[in-house]
Structure 1
Amino acid sequence: MADQLALTIVTGFIARDGSKISGEGDYDVVKANRGLYNIVFRPPFAVTPVVVATQVFPNDVNNQGGSTRDNAVVVGITERQFRVKVGNGNGDPEDRDFTFIATGVGLSGAALAAWEAEEHRLPDVDVADEA
């Protein structure tokens, strides 16, 4: 089993519209709702990774910055994806740029080959309205 596991690091800088600004690793971004994004790992991790996310606002190094309440919350994590919610200083969901890093045990060897041989589609995303 040890020959099928490897340390994996996936990073991303995601724009408010869900497009990728920069990053490393193979993943898709699904904008689920206002301020709500799913990041889908391709391939998935072997076990649930550690994910850290932070909001980038207003993305100007010469600015004094937004409120410290402008934030990003990792809502949930699985081997296949994580969900992050970003919002404004009032705590309301709002589309904002954010960065993330996910690290953990990834697939390799025969386990990776088996995953690559399968057909993959994006997971269903709950897009229910948020208050």
Structure 2
Amino acid sequence: MANAPGYTVWGVVNADASIQPGSSTNFTVESSQPGVYTINFDPPFTAPPAIVGTQCQYDKPGAPINESTKDGLVFPQVTANSATVETGNSLSTWVPRTFSFVAMGAMNA
């Protein structure tokens, strides 16, 4: 079976769900509640993509670095059309945080 053409979506999303300049332009983001975001892929993938991400203090170098190694994010639901992102603190509480992500998968030719 031949591989479908590859498709990549990447970005840095601020805690308020705004998208940082330099991100790809093929997605939108909305926040349904503090610390919960939906990334909408446009156009969608043909199947759920592989996706990775991390919390970050994008474009804010130097001290203080407030994140704990226990802070994190998860993608509890990923479909061809969207991904749900939850960001949280070291107490496992949803907290709005800036994060970066890369999603890669196949798209229709």
- What TM-score does the superposition give when structure 2 sets the normalisation length? 0.87
Corresponding position of 2:12: 13
**What is the correspondence of 1:13-32 to structure 2 with a 5 Å cutoff?**
13-22=12-21, 23-32=23-32
CA RMSD of aligned residues (A): 2.1
Corresponding position of 1:76: 77
* Residue 62 (structure 1) aligned with residue 76 (structure 2): no
**Cα distance change on mapping 1:58 and 1:45 into 2, 3 Å:** closer
**Cα distance change on mapping 1:59 and 1:72 into 2, 3 Å:** farther
State the alpha-carbon separation in 2 of the partners of residues 48 and 27 from structure 1: 15
Corresponding position of 2:95: 94
- When Rg is computed on C-alpha atoms for both structures, the one with the higher figure is 1
Q: Runs of 4+ in structure 1 displaced over 4 angstroms?
A: none
Aligned length: 107
Aligned-residue sequence identity (percent) comes to 29
- What TM-score does the superposition give when structure 1 sets the normalisation length? 0.73
Residue deviations 1:9-42, cap 9 Å, x none?
Answer: 1001001110101311411101111100000001
Higher helix fraction: Structure 1 or Structure 2?
A: 1
Unaligned stretches of 5+ in structure 2? none
**Cα distance change on mapping 1:99 and 1:58 into 2, 3 Å:** closer
Unaligned stretches of 5+ in structure 1? 109-131
User: Counterpart amino acid of 1:28?
Assistant: T
**Cα distance change on mapping 1:10 and 1:58 into 2, 3 Å:** closer
